[in-house]
Amino acid sequence: MPRPRSLTQDQVAAAALAVIDRDGLAGLSMRTVAKELGLSTMGLYRYVADRDELEGLVVERVLSSVDPSPPAADGPWRERVETMVRRLRDSVRAHPAAVPLTVTHRHRLPGLLRWSETVLGLLAEAGVEGERRVVALRGLLSYVVGAIQLEHLGSLSGAGTVVISELPQDRFPYMAEAGRRARGIDADREFFGGLTVFLRGLDG
């Protein structure tokens, strides 16, 4: 007879997420998660079939707090879409190393599917139709994923920006100026400034 299960899938997901937060996505494996839980590697297979299922559990945990309900209808559509993007960002930026998994598993996650459905509805209300609406949704997801990874791996307050700001101005006048200005821009100003540029482009 098989042994009774003693762990929940949420506990398994929490352990996997702890591994990713500590060691990065490259550190995630059945072996490392089993060790985190105090199990043998084979013991972990009582709870998940394979790494693919494990990754799905991680993303479900990361996105579990995203509110997919439409914002109040009394504001402009751009503000309402911004609210939806803010919700998604707030949920995933605490675990930036896990962000690529949201792309890989987006098609089967109820929370993200509901979020996307709401955003598509807002875009439809704004008159964004057909292929343009598809590309707009994809662009928003790409923007969130890319911006969080840039914030995590190469923030404007990091050493890379300092190096750029000190480039020789006779060869890189625009890059050097951009580097100097970038040093005074925090993560929120960068993110929502870029989002405003994106959303204004949909009006064209």
Q: What angle do CA 93, 68, 50 make, to 5 degrees?
A: 65
CATH number of 9-63: 1.10.10.60
102: nearest Cα among 50, 47, 45, 148: 148
In the chain, where the domains are located:
9-63, 77-201
Segment 14-43, tens digit of pLDDT? 999 999 999 999 999 999 999 999 999 999
Assess whether pLDDT exceeds 90 at residue 157.
no
Assess whether pLDDT exceeds 80 at residue 89.
yes
Segment 94-130, tens digit of pLDDT? 899 998 898 888 777 788 889 999 999 999 999 999 9
- In this structure, which topology does domain 77-201 adopt according to CATH? Tetracycline Repressor; domain 2 (1.10.357)
Element (H, E) at 108: none
Residue with tokens 């402009």: 76
Residues 6+ positions from 179 with CB-CB distance below 8 Å? 161, 162, 163, 164, 165, 166, 167
List Cα–Cα distances, 156 to 68, 77, 123, 185, in angstroms.
30, 29, 30, 7
| pTM of this structure | 0.83
Q: Give the phi and the psi of residue 127 in degrees, each rounded to 5.
A: 90, 15
